[in-house]
Chains A and B, each alone.
Chain A
Amino acid sequence: MPEHTFRVNGEQVTVDVEGDVRLLWVLRDLLGITGPKYGCGINVCKACTSHLNGAAVNPCAIPVENLRPTDEVTTIEGLADTVDAELHPMQQAWLDHDVAQCGYCQPGQIMAAVALVRRVAAEGRPVTDADLDGLRNICRCGTYSRIRDAIRTGAGNM
Chain B
Amino acid sequence: MSGTLGRRRFLGYVLAAPTLVAVAGPGPTAAAQLPSPEITEILDLNDLMTVAALPTANLIAVEVNPDGTVSFALPRAEVGQGITTSTAMLIAEEMDVPLERVRVTLAGARPELVFNQLTGGSNTTIATYTPVRVAAAIARRRLLDAAASRLGSPPRELTLTAGVVSDRRGGSVAIGALATAAAATRTEPVSVRLRPREQFTVIGTPRNRIDALAAVTGRKKFAMDLDVGDAKPTMVCRPPTINGAVGSVTNLAQVRALPGVTDVAVISTGVAVRAETFGQCIDAVRALRVSWKPGTVEGTSDDTVLRRLRAAELPIGLPPPTPTVEGRFTFYFRSNSALEPNCAIADVRADRAEVWSALKSPIVAQQSIAAKLRLPLSRVTVHVTEGGGSFGRKLFFDAALEAAEASKAMGKPVKLMWHRADDSRQGRTHPMCTSRVRASYLGDTVLGYHQRHTSVTTDLGHGLGEIITATAARLPVGDIGFAGTFFQLSQTMSYDFGVSTRLLSETGRGFNTGSMRNVYSPDVTCARELIVDQLAARMGKDPYEFRRDFLRDDRSRAVLERAAEAGGWGRTMPEGTAQGIAFHAEYKAVSAALVEIDCRPETVGRPVRDGVAGPRVTRVVFAVDVGLAVNPRGLEAQMLGCISDGIALALTSSLHLRDGHFLEASWDNYFYTRQWNIPPEVRIIVVPSTSEEPGGAGELGVAASMAAVACAYGRATGTMPTSFPINHQTLSFEPKPTVPPVPESPVDGLDHAR
Q: Which residues of A contact B (CB under 8 A)?
A: 1, 17-18, 20-26, 28-30, 32, 34-45, 47, 52-53, 55-63, 66, 75-77, 80, 87, 91, 94-95, 98-107, 110, 115, 119, 129, 132-148
Contact call B277/A26, Cβ cutoff below 8 A: yes
A144 to B674: give the CA distance in the assembly, Å: 8
A76 to B211: give the CA distance in the assembly, Å: 16
A135 to B340: give the CA distance in the assembly, Å: 19
Q: A95-B208, A100-B212 are in contact. List 5 more A-B contacts (CB 8 A).
A: A20-B747, A21-B260, A61-B746, A142-B643, A143-B640
Chain A residues positioned under 8 Å from B338 (CB to CB)? 102, 104, 140
Residues of chain B in range 699-754 having any CB-CB distance to chain A below 8 Å = 742-743, 745-750, 752-754
Contact call A139/B339, Cβ cutoff below 8 A: yes
A18 to B258: give the CA distance in the assembly, Å: 11
Complex interface bits, B125-164 against A, C-beta within 8 A gives 1, otherwise 0: 0000000000000000000000000000000000000000
Contact call A144/B678, Cβ cutoff below 8 A: yes
For the complex formed, measure the closest distance between the CB of A52 and the CB atoms of chain B, giving whole angstroms: 6
Contact call A38/B224, Cβ cutoff below 8 A: yes
Complex interface bits, B339-363 against A, C-beta within 8 A gives 1, otherwise 0: 1110000000000000000000000
Contact call A102/B749, Cβ cutoff below 8 A: no
For the complex formed, measure the closest distance between the CB of B250 and the CB atoms of chain A, giving whole angstroms: 24
Contact call B746/A60, Cβ cutoff below 8 A: yes
Chain B residues positioned under 8 Å from A30 (CB to CB)? 276-277
Residues of B in contact with A, size category? 35 or more
For the complex formed, measure the closest distance between the CB of A42 and the CB atoms of chain B, giving whole angstroms: 5
A102 to B610: give the CA distance in the assembly, Å: 26
Contact call B212/A95, Cβ cutoff below 8 A: yes
Contact call A57/B753, Cβ cutoff below 8 A: yes
Contact call A91/B674, Cβ cutoff below 8 A: no
Chain A residues positioned under 8 Å from B279 (CB to CB)? 20-22, 24-25, 29
Show 22 residue pairs from A and B whose CB-CB distance is below 8 angstroms, ordered by the A residue: A29-B233, A35-B219, A39-B340, A41-B420, A42-B420, A52-B753, A57-B753, A61-B745, A61-B752, A98-B209, A100-B209, A100-B212, A100-B216, A103-B212, A104-B339, A105-B388, A106-B216, A115-B754, A133-B675, A133-B678, A140-B338, A141-B339
Contact call A103/B277, Cβ cutoff below 8 A: no
For the complex formed, measure the closest distance between the CB of A35 and the CB atoms of chain B, giving whole angstroms: 3
A45 to B227: give the CA distance in the assembly, Å: 24
Contact call B637/A101, Cβ cutoff below 8 A: yes
Chain A residues positioned under 8 Å from B749 (CB to CB)? 22-23, 43, 57-62, 66
* A18, A42, A132: residue with the most chain B Cβ atoms closer than 10 Å: A42
Contact call B277/A29, Cβ cutoff below 8 A: yes
Q: Which of B75-83, B98-106, B113-121 contacts A (4 or more CB under 8 A)?
A: B75-83
Chain A CB within 8 A of B328 CB: no
Contact call A143/B225, Cβ cutoff below 8 A: no
The residue in chain A whose Cβ has the minimal distance to the Cβ of B338 is A140
Complex interface bits, B355-392 against A, C-beta within 8 A gives 1, otherwise 0: 00000000000000000000000000000001111110
Contact of B682 among A56, A110, A133, A145 (CB under 8 A): A145
Contact of A45 among B217, B420, B641 (CB under 8 A): B420
For the complex formed, measure the closest distance between the CB of B702 and the CB atoms of chain A, giving whole angstroms: 10
The residue in chain A whose Cβ has the minimal distance to the Cβ of B751 is A61
A63 to B672: give the CA distance in the assembly, Å: 29
Contact call B389/A29, Cβ cutoff below 8 A: no
Residues of chain B in range 205-238 having any CB-CB distance to chain A below 8 Å = 208-209, 211-222, 224-225, 227, 233
Q: Known: A98-B633, A142-B673. Contact between A22 and B745, CB under 8 A?
A: yes
Contact call A138/B259, Cβ cutoff below 8 A: no
The residue in chain B whose Cβ has the minimal distance to the Cβ of A48 is B749
Q: Known: A100-B212, A143-B637. Contact between A43 and B217, CB under 8 A?
A: no
Contact call B419/A41, Cβ cutoff below 8 A: yes
Q: Known: A17-B276, A26-B277, A95-B208. Contact between A133 and B339, CB under 8 A?
A: no
Chain A CB within 8 A of B324 CB: no
Chain A CB within 8 A of B525 CB: no
For the complex formed, measure the closest distance between the CB of A24 and the CB atoms of chain B, giving whole angstroms: 7
For the complex formed, measure the closest distance between the CB of A157 and the CB atoms of chain B, giving whole angstroms: 14
Contact of A17 among B211, B277, B339 (CB under 8 A): B277
Q: Which residues of B contact A (CB under 8 A)?
A: 79-82, 208-209, 211-222, 224-225, 227, 233, 259-260, 276-280, 282-283, 337-341, 386-391, 417, 419-420, 610, 633, 637, 640-645, 666-668, 672-676, 678-680, 682, 742-743, 745-750, 752-754
Contact call B80/A136, Cβ cutoff below 8 A: no
For the complex formed, measure the closest distance between the CB of A113 and the CB atoms of chain B, giving whole angstroms: 11
Contact of A110 among B82, B216, B644 (CB under 8 A): B216
Contact call A119/B748, Cβ cutoff below 8 A: no
A36 to B278: give the CA distance in the assembly, Å: 14
A134 to B279: give the CA distance in the assembly, Å: 28
For the complex formed, measure the closest distance between the CB of A75 and the CB atoms of chain B, giving whole angstroms: 7
Q: Known: A35-B218, A94-B212. Contact between A42 and B666, CB under 8 A?
A: yes
Q: Known: A104-B388, A141-B389. Contact between A34 and B225, CB under 8 A?
A: yes
A40 to B666: give the CA distance in the assembly, Å: 7
The residue in chain B whose Cβ has the minimal distance to the Cβ of A71 is B750
For the complex formed, measure the closest distance between the CB of A144 and the CB atoms of chain B, giving whole angstroms: 4
Contact of A37 among B388, B674, B752 (CB under 8 A): B388
Q: Known: A17-B276, A34-B218. Contact between A102 and B746, CB under 8 A?
A: no
A76 to B219: give the CA distance in the assembly, Å: 9
Contact call B641/A142, Cβ cutoff below 8 A: yes
A40 to B742: give the CA distance in the assembly, Å: 10
A53 to B749: give the CA distance in the assembly, Å: 14
A98 to B224: give the CA distance in the assembly, Å: 24
A1 to B276: give the CA distance in the assembly, Å: 13
A-B pairs with the 4 shortest C-beta distances? A142-B644, A35-B218, A102-B80, A104-B388
Q: Known: A38-B278, A42-B745, A91-B217. Contact between A140 and B675, CB under 8 A?
A: no
Contact call B420/A40, Cβ cutoff below 8 A: yes
Chain A residues positioned under 8 Å from B224 (CB to CB)? 28, 34, 38
A32 to B386: give the CA distance in the assembly, Å: 18
For the complex formed, measure the closest distance between the CB of A60 and the CB atoms of chain B, giving whole angstroms: 7
Chain A residues positioned under 8 Å from B752 (CB to CB)? 43, 57-58, 61
A133 to B220: give the CA distance in the assembly, Å: 27
Contact call A41/B637, Cβ cutoff below 8 A: no
The residue in chain B whose Cβ has the minimal distance to the Cβ of A97 is B208
For the complex formed, measure the closest distance between the CB of B391 and the CB atoms of chain A, giving whole angstroms: 7
The residue in chain B whose Cβ has the minimal distance to the Cβ of A133 is B676
Contact call A61/B388, Cβ cutoff below 8 A: no
For the complex formed, measure the closest distance between the CB of B603 and the CB atoms of chain A, giving whole angstroms: 12
A77 to B219: give the CA distance in the assembly, Å: 8
Chain B residues positioned under 8 Å from A20 (CB to CB)? 279, 283, 747
Chain B residues positioned under 8 Å from A110 (CB to CB)? 216
Contact call A25/B277, Cβ cutoff below 8 A: yes
Chain A residues positioned under 8 Å from B745 (CB to CB)? 22, 41-42, 60-61
A42 to B209: give the CA distance in the assembly, Å: 31
Chain B residues positioned under 8 Å from A102 (CB to CB)? 79-80, 338-340, 386-390
A92 to B207: give the CA distance in the assembly, Å: 16
For the complex formed, measure the closest distance between the CB of A44 and the CB atoms of chain B, giving whole angstroms: 5
A76 to B225: give the CA distance in the assembly, Å: 14
Chain B residues positioned under 8 Å from A146 (CB to CB)? 637, 640
Contact call A138/B667, Cβ cutoff below 8 A: yes
Contact call B280/A21, Cβ cutoff below 8 A: yes
Q: Known: A44-B666, A143-B637. Contact between A55 and B753, CB under 8 A?
A: yes
The residue in chain A whose Cβ has the minimal distance to the Cβ of B278 is A25
A105 to B215: give the CA distance in the assembly, Å: 9
For the complex formed, measure the closest distance between the CB of A114 and the CB atoms of chain B, giving whole angstroms: 12
The residue in chain B whose Cβ has the minimal distance to the Cβ of A92 is B216
